[in-house]
Amino acid sequence: MSFLPEIDAPGTGSLSALKRNFGIIPKIFRAQMLRPDLVEAQVQMLDGLLFKAGALSRIQKEFILLTVSADNNNSYFPALHCQTLQFLGVKAEQSQQIVVDHHSANLSDSDVALLDFARRLASAGPSFTDLDVEALRKASFNDEQILEAVLMVGLTQLLNSIQVGLGTEPDFKSRIIFPLKEVNPPVASERQTIDSELQDEFVSDDPDFEIVERVRNGETDAFEELVRKHGRRVYRSLLSMLGSTEEAEDALQDAFLKAFQHLPHFEGRSKFSTWLVRIAINTGLQRVRGRKDFDSLDEESEEFRPRNIQAWTDTPEEFYSREELRRLVEREVMKLPVKYRVALMLRDLEELSTEEAAAVLGLSVPGLKARVLRGRLMLRESMVPYFSKAGASKS
Amino acid sequence: MISCQDFISELGNLLDEEIASEIRERLETHLAHCNTCQVLYDSTRKTLRIVTESGSFEYPEPIAEPLVSKVMDRIRK
- For A62-115, how does the pLDDT look when each residue is reduced to its tens digit (9 = 90+)? 999 999 988 887 778 888 888 788 777 788 778 888 887 788 888 988 999 999
Q: Tell me the average pLDDT across A13-31.
A: 80
Q: Is B4 on the interface with A (CB under 8 A)?
A: no
pLDDT cut 90: percent of chain A above it:
38
> Does the distance separating the beta carbons of A384 and B43 come in below 8 Å?
yes
Nearest by CB to residue B75, choosing from A179, A223, A370, is A223
Spatial distance between the Cα atoms of A55 and A134, rounded to a whole number of angstroms: 18
Burial pattern B51-64, b for ≥16 Cβ within 10 A else e, equals beebebbebeeebe
User: Chain A residues with CB inside 8 Å of B43's CB?
Assistant: 311-312, 380, 383-384, 387-388
Q: What is the DSSP letter of A178?
A: P
Q: Tell me the average pLDDT across A245-260.
A: 95
Q: Tell me the average pLDDT across B37-43.
A: 95
Chain B, nearest residue to A307 by Cα = B40
> Does the distance separating the beta carbons of B46 and A312 come in below 8 Å?
yes
Q: Which residue has the higher pLDDT, A249 or A176?
A: A249
Q: DSSP H helical segments within chain A, as ranges?
A: 15-22, 27-30, 36-46, 58-71, 77-87, 92-101, 109-123, 130-138, 143-166, 188-203, 209-216, 223-242, 245-262, 272-289, 322-335, 338-344, 354-361, 365-387, 389-394
> Does the distance separating the beta carbons of B58 and A354 come in below 8 Å?
no
**Choice among A31-45, A183-197, A275-289 with the minimum mean pLDDT:** A183-197
Q: Is the pLDDT of residue A393 over 80?
A: no
User: Chain B residues with CB inside 8 Å of A333's CB?
Assistant: 51, 56-57
ipTM of model: 0.93
Q: What is the pLDDT, as a whole number, of residue A297?
A: 54
**Choice among A4-18, A239-253, A353-367 with the minimum mean pLDDT:** A4-18
Q: How long a stretch of residues is chain A? A: 395
> Does the distance separating the beta carbons of B40 and A306 come in below 8 Å?
yes
pLDDT band at B38 (very low <50, low <70, confident <90, very high): very high
Q: What is the pLDDT, as a whole number, of residue A127?
A: 77
Q: What is the DSSP letter of A314?
A: S
Q: What is the pLDDT, as a whole number, of residue A300?
A: 55
Rg (CA), chain B: 21
**Choice among A5-14, A305-314, B7-16, B42-51 with the minimum mean pLDDT:** A5-14
Q: Is the pLDDT of residue A26 over 80?
A: yes
> Does the distance separating the beta carbons of B47 and A257 come in below 8 Å?
no
Chain A, nearest residue to B42 by Cα = A312
Phi, psi of A279 (to 5 degrees): -65, -40
Judged by DSSP in three states, A312 sits in strand
Distance of residue A342 Cα from the nearest chain B Cα, in angstroms: 13
Q: Is the pLDDT of residue A185 over 50?
A: no
**To the nearest whole number, what is the mean pLDDT of chain B?**
92
The residue type at A127 = S
pLDDT band at A125 (very low <50, low <70, confident <90, very high): low
The residue type at A288 = V
Q: How far is CA A294 from CA A277, A299, A308, A336, B5, in A?
A: 21, 11, 27, 12, 30
**To the nearest whole number, what is the mean pLDDT of chain A?**
82
Q: Is the pLDDT of residue A164 over 80?
A: yes
Q: Is the pLDDT of residue B5 over 60?
A: yes
Q: What is the pLDDT, as a whole number, of residue B31?
A: 94
> Does the distance separating the beta carbons of A326 and B54 come in below 8 Å?
yes
Q: What is the pLDDT, as a whole number, of residue A21?
A: 77
Q: Which long-range contacts (CB under 8 A, 24 or more apart) does A240-245 make?
A: A240/A333, A240/A334, A240/A341, A240/A342, A240/A345, A240/A349, A240/B57, A241/A281, A241/A284, A241/A285, A241/A287, A241/A288, A241/A338, A241/A341, A241/A342, A241/A345, A242/A284, A242/A287, A242/A288, A243/A334, A245/B60
Q: What is the pLDDT, as a whole number, of residue A70?
A: 85
> Does the distance separating the beta carbons of B12 and A376 come in below 8 Å?
yes
> Does the distance separating the beta carbons of A330 and B75 come in below 8 Å?
no
User: Chain A residues with CB inside 8 Å of B8's CB?
Assistant: 306, 373, 377
Spatial distance between the Cα atoms of A63 and A368, rounded to a whole number of angstroms: 19
Cα dihedral angle (A62, A63, A69, A74), rounded to 10 degrees?
Answer: 80
Q: Is the pLDDT of residue A199 over 60?
A: no
User: Chain A residues with CB inside 8 Å of B40's CB?
Assistant: 306, 309, 380
* Mutate which: B1, B2, B27, B47, vs A, most A CBs within 10 A: B47
Q: What is the pLDDT, as a whole number, of residue A36?
A: 87
- Cβ distance A176 to A14 under 8 Å? no
Residue A348's H or E segment, with its range, is: none
> Does the distance separating the beta carbons of B39 and A311 come in below 8 Å?
yes
Judged by DSSP in three states, A388 sits in strand
Q: Which residue has the higher pLDDT, A299 or A149?
A: A149
Q: Tell me the average pLDDT across B9-18.
A: 91
User: Chain B residues with CB inside 8 Å of A328's CB?
Assistant: 54
Q: What is the pLDDT, as a whole number, of residue A356?
A: 87
Q: Is B24 on the interface with A (CB under 8 A)?
A: no
User: Chain A residues with CB inside 8 Å of B55's CB?
Assistant: 322, 326
Q: Is the pLDDT of residue A293 over 70?
A: no
User: Chain B residues with CB inside 8 Å of A228's CB?
Assistant: 64, 68
Q: What is the pLDDT, as a whole number, of residue B8?
A: 92
Distance of residue B57 Cα from the nearest chain A Cα, in angstroms: 6
Q: Which long-range contacts (CB under 8 A, 24 or more apart) does A87-92 make?
A: A87/A23, A88/A58, A88/A59, A88/A62, A89/A59, A90/A59, A90/A62, A92/A175, A92/A176
> Does the distance separating the beta carbons of A369 and B12 come in below 8 Å?
yes
The residue type at A149 = A
Distance of residue B13 Cα from the nearest chain A Cα, in angstroms: 8
pLDDT cut 70: percent of chain A above it:
84
Over the stretch A358-382, which tens digit does the pLDDT of each residue have? 888 888 888 899 999 999 999 999 9
Chain A, nearest residue to B52 by Cα = A349
How many CB pairs lie under 8 A apart between chains A and B?
A: 131
Q: What is the pLDDT, as a whole number, of residue A64?
A: 95
Q: What is the pLDDT, as a whole number, of residue A184?
A: 32
Phi, psi of A339 (to 5 degrees): -65, -35
pLDDT band at A306 (very low <50, low <70, confident <90, very high): confident
Q: Is the pLDDT of residue B14 over 50?
A: yes
